[in-house]
Structure 1
Amino acid sequence: MNAWSGSREKATDIKRLSGTIAGDMTSSTSSVSKGCFVFKPSSKKKRSTFITADYFNKGQDKDSDNSRTRFETYQELWLKMKKETEQLQEDMNKKLFDGLIEFFRQSHSGFQEKTNEWSCRMRANEIPTAALVLGVNVTDHDVTFKSLTDVLQESVTPYVASLHSKECPGIGQMVQKLLIQLMGQSADLEYDEEDEDRVQVTHRRTYCSMASLSGWYQTVTKKEKSSTPGKKRTSSSSKYWQSPPVVVIIKDLESFTAKVLQDFITIISQYIQVLPLILVFGIATSPMIIHGLLSHSVCSLLCIELFQSLSCMEHLSTVIEKLLLTTQFPFKLSGKVLQVLISIFLYHDFSVHNFIKGLQLSLVEHFHSQPLSVLCCSASKVEARVKALSHAECESLRQLPSFMRYVESQVPEKQIQLLTNNSSVKEVTETLLEDLHVYHKNYIPVLRCLHSFTSILPKYPLGKQIRELFCSCLEKCIWEAEEYASAFQLLRMLAREELVSALVKCVAFLKGSSGEELDEAAEKLQEFLDAFQSHEESGQVDRTGNVDEEEISPQKSLRKTDLYHLQKTLLELKDSRRSKKLSRFEVLRHEIVDFIDDLVRKYLMPPEMQTLHEVMYFGAAVTLRRHLNAAPRIALHTALNNPYCYLKNEALKSEAGSISNSAPDICIAYKLHLECGRLINLYDWLEAFATVVCAADGKEHEFEPLEQVDEIIHARFIRAVSEMELLGFVKATKQKTDHVARLTWGGC
């Protein structure tokens, strides 16, 4: 007993000792017993956190209120813009989706009734097919199909599957993907390539084929129908159609293999009498691609109806009007930045989605790079934001080019106050920002008014779309352009119907604005409209005074055979035509054109001429182009020829033409290969590489035969050459076994 109790006490002491050692952070983990020691951090130390708003600091204090306010303002603006674009997308797709659902309803009702025309289709095994032409902006198709899937699953059917060409290289994989999405199965595919129309996938003793899909569908729908009559249907099932159809969306029809698509349609056509299948083809090019991919016998199995989505050009114009040509969002783009985004859209992808992403990038860059973007807010928040400006931010305001021009235009006493007194700066800043908001309120209606006149002119001297006119007005004073002068010459020759139609639109735009000055302009244009109406009701045209009584007639002038008298007579006739008295309509037309010209010169001043425009306008077009329109050749050459540009390591700095011995191996190999011709001797290349690498170690290297080269240097060289071959700079050549051919940039 004593021995046992003594051993128990020793064991207790060992445990107590182990716990003491484990609990002490500064002690060693060595112990008389083996164990796992866990050290908990001290509660006094706080874990360092780094939030997204800290990226907006740019060298300021981590707890700077300016960076957090800018980040919150950015988030608020972007969420509003995103919501606006989503609502716009929904409104634009509504008509298209309504047409699709009506087509599905007719096809489904035919399946239910099995009468008349649909009975013939059922006997002919025709599959209802919607050919959805979406355009070449392929990157936007996913958004459209996702919205279509949500609409169908919301009120039509829960059975919607989307198939992509890269996931369906064969008929087996295509059927498997279809059944996995519909039935929720995750089975391994096992099928016989010789008999692909009987695709079988083993999963829980069930054959995953079209027959199993049909049986599964009958079982699911039978359960819903066999619910007791006394019980009401659940809300989840009551929102769908009775015996809801199975919709299969083939997103990129052009990318599918013709044989796979034909086999798939042939197989599912055998089950159309028991399974309400509907196909949706996503087409980017032309509906004729259906006949190019499918044979006549397969096309005869489809009952195709064509649907056309809205043009991407119209979509872009609507997005610009909703996001940029509005006073709802204080953030604006300069003319060059907007031109970059539109150029990428027109010459690269026609993707409105990418255009919106570029707009978001501009928004991020503006709030990140401009500390004074904290003032880019709605008019109701300007006063509070200005009062919260610090001394450093007031100094930043004084350094803005537009504010410096404003200070220089003031009297000397006012200049001293603006340069020394922060209160004066804040007071003036608040006034200037209010003027900038008023400028935007007047700018947009007058721009629309000008577009209503110029968009009806032949050859569209100022552009057909409003975005073209908008870019021109942002970049310069539009009235200084030659196109503006020619446009207004054409306006002075407009017919009455076209002039009245443009006036009606212009009055609507100006009345819709909230500016008092534009209300007066709208009243003036309304007076012109009333004058036109009264002139039309009178039914009189002022033609008097066109020809003077004492004017010499052409027949009388022809009697003069003397050249001098003939020339004099023709000049008098020309002067008389110039002095012809204008009609009432022509006088009104000239007055209207002059009035529109005055509006343009007064309200369409370029943003760069407005004070504090830097606060709301993003103008770093070069930065935006570098991010969105990358040049791989320049980027690769810069990275390999000057690695310091990306790595920011001081040791990598070198003079032009020299090779840094501390650069990465591929950079050394790349700069050495630039000194060679079309064929590069691997032996000489290795010798030069080893010389540069050994110089990095501070060794004087005398090159030895290839067999005696350091294995590590040899391996590094082989890896660098392999990487260059992977990038496409060199390739093996059959001309000489110990040479490689240079492929790019100056090989001769």
Structure 2
Amino acid sequence: MSAAGGCTSSVSKGCFVFKPSSKKRKSSLTTADYFNADLKDLEDGQVRFDTCQSLWQEVKLETEQLQEELNKKLFDSLIEFLRKSHSEFQGEKNEWSCRTRSSEIPTAALVLGVNVTDHDGTFKSLSEVLWERVTPYVASLQAKECPGIKQLLQKLLAQLMGQLADVDLNSDEEEEHVQTSQRRRGRPMASLCSWYRSVTKRTSQSKKRTSSSSWHLLTPPVVVILKDLERFAPKVLQDFIVISSLYTGELPLIFVFGIATSPMIIHRLLSHSVSSLLCIELFQSVSCTQHLAAIVDKLLLTTRFPLRLSGKVLLVLTNIFLYHDFSVQNFIKGLQLSVVEHFHSQPLSMLCCHLPEAKKRLRSLLHEQCENIRQLPSFMSYVDTQTSEHQVKLLTSDSFLKDVAQTLLEDLHAYHKNYIPVLKCLHEFTCLLPKYPLGRQSQVRELHCACMEKKVWESEEYTSAFQLLRMLAKDELVATLRKCVEILKSSACKELSKALKKLEEFLSRFHNLEGSVSAEEHEYLKDENMSPPKVLQKKTDLYHLQKTLLELKESRRSKKLTNFEVLRLEVVEFLDSLVRDYLVPPETKALYEVMYFSDASTLRRHLNAAPRTALHMALNNPYCYLKNEALKNNDGVISNLAPDICIAYKLHLECGRLINLYDWLEAFTTVVTTAEGADSASVASGRVDEVIHARFIKAVSELELLGFIKATKLKTDHVARLTWGGC
């Protein structure tokens, strides 16, 4: 016996025991291992991964807090409704109890919107809030888990009673429970009522009260949440409501309906006799567009997080949101992907942190990392603007490079602090203009994208917006100036202190203009109102009329502007100077690649896939996905080692609109059975193997499922091709 080799050699049969090897098993790969897989420097990659993780944890915490703030008003109103509706069951009389009958079930219709992917998080938070503040008896039901009344009652009892309820309800009873006797159809709910009475009785007799929860009612309500009301079968829903209405005196049931479309769906799913058993109150959640605006304002338009998104990246994320799913959660996932891609693809992303930490890391950079700085396009453009002496130092001296890079990073952080307040001020001026040339009131992201992409003052929209600003009324102008003063005060930027003083000076000058109109202004208004009728009331021909109108136009141009018009022009010109100074695109700043993620194509490829292109790539070139070296071949060659569906797909590309199935089968058989060096005479046997025939049928069925072919009535032994061309 050779124990060392782990093998045995014996004449007789026996059982041999081998001790486990002392070598440690290979541990599974972590997230950091996948992150550092393609990186050259593992130490540098670990720093980038830790920075990425800490940044995303801050962003995630901020998004969760924002979600709680947005849902707080909705949840508070829901809890108030639950408490009022439950007061009748406890014997309390109030205005709400007068509105309901004894057989009605209080129902909260919660309209959440079409962003269905976000509903799970909302209901999870709602269940936690209800458990903490109202009742411990909360059940959440989904339509896919409740195809029938039997499954619905089983799921309900399992969640409430904490175990899988073995409900004695046969399939026959499921169909006839509404017509059968009350005892038979009420068996599951009767067991729930008895369980509820025993639990509440034990709770009332016990003197212990937990301080962590705020529900100390002797008979807390039982809340049943139907997450996706539209997906429930109408018959199942109606039967459940009818059964539940029979026990309103014994069981304090309260329904919460999750609605994605419209409250009218309740009356479409339920008959009048069933809907009359519900006392419905409507609740509206915050719209997904308002939620997105809050996310952009709290995450992207703030200086708390060093990482920035370019205009193209933000446009990709918003387009997916607006044209696909309206899901804020998917928007946040796209933001997370942007963070990971930036720290994985940018070697200098280790400097994408808060300024004090970035300065420390900058001082400890190695020569190779300094070379990465020199290779940045923005830094190369900066070097071209310097003198020849400075250019030599920047390209040769690492210490001098670090000093300059520290100054550039400070300028970049200062640019961020000044950019956001000025952007908000410009948005306050332009959001109320006719036709919204630079974005609506609640969509500051449109103006943000425009300023990030190019010099916004060179666009036609900016020119038209400032033409309209020169015609603003006094009340609107003063109100907007006050908002801008508040924005600059809250920003607390030292560089914008002069701008703040200038705006306050404009406000004081407008205040001095109130109630005082000069004699020149009276004369101007008098000429504006009286002179045209006096001139034009004389009879004249077309030539003299045109000449008179031109003279009036020139005279109006040459007239002296009023004090208000002069002051209004000063405000508009000052705003234009602020825009030109502080809203320059980030590409004009050196080292912007360190803090900006601009790879929109990668983001679009991951989040907004093209299914048809991906299918063609997989079927036409399976090596792209399978990574099998045997599948590497020249274009136009069909390998017999490829999957059957790939062979059938390539063969169908060579056919016309109608494909003969027998010819297709023969070609498939030829490719599959032909190997390199095989005799062609031995291949052509004249009879198709049953296994190959079955493989062909499976491949054709898969192509039909993918939508490449379909059956046709023109010829029984043919199929119609649904695509054309090579892609």
Query: Taking structure 1 as the reference length, what is the TM-score of the superposition?
Result: 0.89
**Residues 433 and 468 of structure 2 are in contact (CA less than 8 Å); yes or no, is this contact kept in structure 1?**
yes
SS at match of 1:605: coil
Q: 1:518 to 1:108 in 2, by over 3 A?
A: same
The answer to whether residue 228 in structure 2 is matched with residue 252 in structure 1 is: yes
The answer to whether residue 103 in structure 2 is matched with residue 125 in structure 1 is: yes
Deviation at 1:542, TM superposition (A): 4.9
Q: Distance in 1 between matches of 2:469 and 2:504?
A: 18
**Residues 544 and 581 of structure 1 are in contact (CA less than 8 Å); yes or no, is this contact kept in structure 2?**
no
1:682-703 per-residue CA deviation (whole Å, 9 max, x = no partner) reads: 3322332233334443324247
Q: 1:117 to 1:527 in 2, by over 3 A?
A: closer
1:316-715 matches, cutoff 5 A:
316-464=292-440, 465-536=443-514, 538=516, 542-543=520-521, 546=524, 571-702=550-681, 708-709=687-688, 713-715=692-694
Deviation at 1:310, TM superposition (A): 0.8
Aligned to 2:181: none
Which region of structure 1 is more displaced relative to structure 2, 504-513 or 590-599?
A: 504-513
Amino acid at match of 2:124: K
**Residues 57 and 64 of structure 1 are in contact (CA less than 8 Å); yes or no, is this contact kept in structure 2?**
yes
Aligned to 1:34: 14
Q: Distance in 2 between matches of 1:657 and 1:314?
A: 53
Q: 1:289 to 1:580 in 2, by over 3 A?
A: same
**Residues 110 and 256 of structure 2 are in contact (CA less than 8 Å); yes or no, is this contact kept in structure 1?**
yes
Deviation at 1:266, TM superposition (A): 0.6
Amino acid at match of 1:463: G
**Residues 137 and 160 of structure 2 are in contact (CA less than 8 Å); yes or no, is this contact kept in structure 1?**
yes
SS at match of 2:256: strand
Deviation at 1:722, TM superposition (A): 3.8
Q: Distance in 1 between matches of 2:165 and 2:432?
A: 62
The answer to whether residue 254 in structure 2 is matched with residue 278 in structure 1 is: yes
**Residues 334 and 474 of structure 1 are in contact (CA less than 8 Å); yes or no, is this contact kept in structure 2?**
yes
Q: 1:154 to 1:570 in 2, by over 3 A?
A: closer
Q: 1:590 to 1:688 in 2, by over 3 A?
A: same
Q: Distance in 2 between matches of 1:745 and 1:518?
A: 61
Q: Distance in 2 between matches of 1:366 and 1:713?
A: 49
The answer to whether residue 119 in structure 2 is matched with residue 145 in structure 1 is: no
1:165-314 matches, cutoff 5 A:
165-188=143-166, 190-196=168-174, 209-227=188-206, 231-235=207-211, 239-314=215-290
Q: Distance in 1 between matches of 2:415 and 2:256?
A: 49
Amino acid at match of 1:327: T
**Residues 513 and 519 of structure 1 are in contact (CA less than 8 Å); yes or no, is this contact kept in structure 2?**
no
Aligned to 2:182: none
Q: Distance in 1 between matches of 2:667 and 2:673?
A: 10
Q: 1:672 to 1:188 in 2, by over 3 A?
A: farther
Amino acid at match of 1:675: E
Q: Distance in 2 between matches of 1:642 and 1:34?
A: 52
Q: Distance in 2 between matches of 1:98 and 1:559?
A: 72
Q: Distance in 1 between matches of 2:339 and 2:146?
A: 39
Amino acid at match of 1:404: M
Q: 1:284 to 1:427 in 2, by over 3 A?
A: same
Aligned to 1:6: none
SS at match of 1:355: helix
Identity %: 65
Deviation at 1:103, TM superposition (A): 0.6
Q: 1:349 to 1:27 in 2, by over 3 A?
A: closer
Q: Distance in 1 between matches of 2:79 and 2:411?
A: 50
Q: 1:436 to 1:740 in 2, by over 3 A?
A: same
Aligned to 1:14: none
Q: Distance in 1 between matches of 2:117 and 2:609?
A: 18
1:581-612 per-residue CA deviation (whole Å, 9 max, x = no partner) reads: 11111111100000000000110011122111
Deviation at 1:49, TM superposition (A): 6.1
Deviation at 1:655, TM superposition (A): 3.5
Gaps spanning 5+ residues in structure 1: where?
1-17, 200-206
Amino acid at match of 2:79: I
Amino acid at match of 1:367: F
Q: Distance in 2 between matches of 1:532 and 1:450?
A: 20
Q: 1:213 to 1:131 in 2, by over 3 A?
A: same
Aligned to 2:706: 727
Q: 1:700 to 1:112 in 2, by over 3 A?
A: same
Q: Distance in 2 between matches of 1:712 and 1:556?
A: 101
Aligned to 1:88: 66
Q: Distance in 1 between matches of 2:171 and 2:519?
A: 86
Which region of structure 1 is more displaced relative to structure 2, 369-378 or 319-328?
A: 369-378
**Residues 320 and 467 of structure 1 are in contact (CA less than 8 Å); yes or no, is this contact kept in structure 2?**
yes
**Residues 128 and 304 of structure 1 are in contact (CA less than 8 Å); yes or no, is this contact kept in structure 2?**
yes
Number of equivalences: 713
Q: Distance in 1 between matches of 2:679 and 2:434?
A: 77
Q: Distance in 2 between matches of 1:232 and 1:710?
A: 77
SS at match of 2:15: coil
**Residues 552 and 573 of structure 1 are in contact (CA less than 8 Å); yes or no, is this contact kept in structure 2?**
no
Q: 1:284 to 1:559 in 2, by over 3 A?
A: closer
SS at match of 1:516: coil
Q: Distance in 2 between matches of 1:698 and 1:543?
A: 102
Amino acid at match of 1:524: K
Q: 1:717 to 1:555 in 2, by over 3 A?
A: closer
**Residues 139 and 156 of structure 2 are in contact (CA less than 8 Å); yes or no, is this contact kept in structure 1?**
yes
Gaps spanning 5+ residues in structure 2: where?
179-185
Amino acid at match of 1:727: L
Which region of structure 1 is more displaced relative to structure 2, 721-730 or 529-538?
A: 721-730
**Residues 644 and 699 of structure 2 are in contact (CA less than 8 Å); yes or no, is this contact kept in structure 1?**
yes
Q: Distance in 2 between matches of 1:460 and 1:552?
A: 35
Deviation at 1:714, TM superposition (A): 4.4
SS at match of 1:34: coil
Deviation at 1:617, TM superposition (A): 1.2
Deviation at 1:616, TM superposition (A): 1.3
**Residues 288 and 328 of structure 2 are in contact (CA less than 8 Å); yes or no, is this contact kept in structure 1?**
yes
**Residues 29 and 37 of structure 1 are in contact (CA less than 8 Å); yes or no, is this contact kept in structure 2?**
no
Amino acid at match of 2:232: F
Aligned to 1:159: 137
Q: Distance in 1 between matches of 2:448 and 2:374?
A: 30
Deviation at 1:741, TM superposition (A): 3.4
Amino acid at match of 2:276: S
Deviation at 1:343, TM superposition (A): 0.7
SS at match of 2:720: strand
Query: Taking structure 2 as the reference length, what is the TM-score of the superposition?
Result: 0.92
Q: 1:547 to 1:341 in 2, by over 3 A?
A: closer
Q: 1:125 to 1:414 in 2, by over 3 A?
A: same
Q: Distance in 2 between matches of 1:118 and 1:565?
A: 78
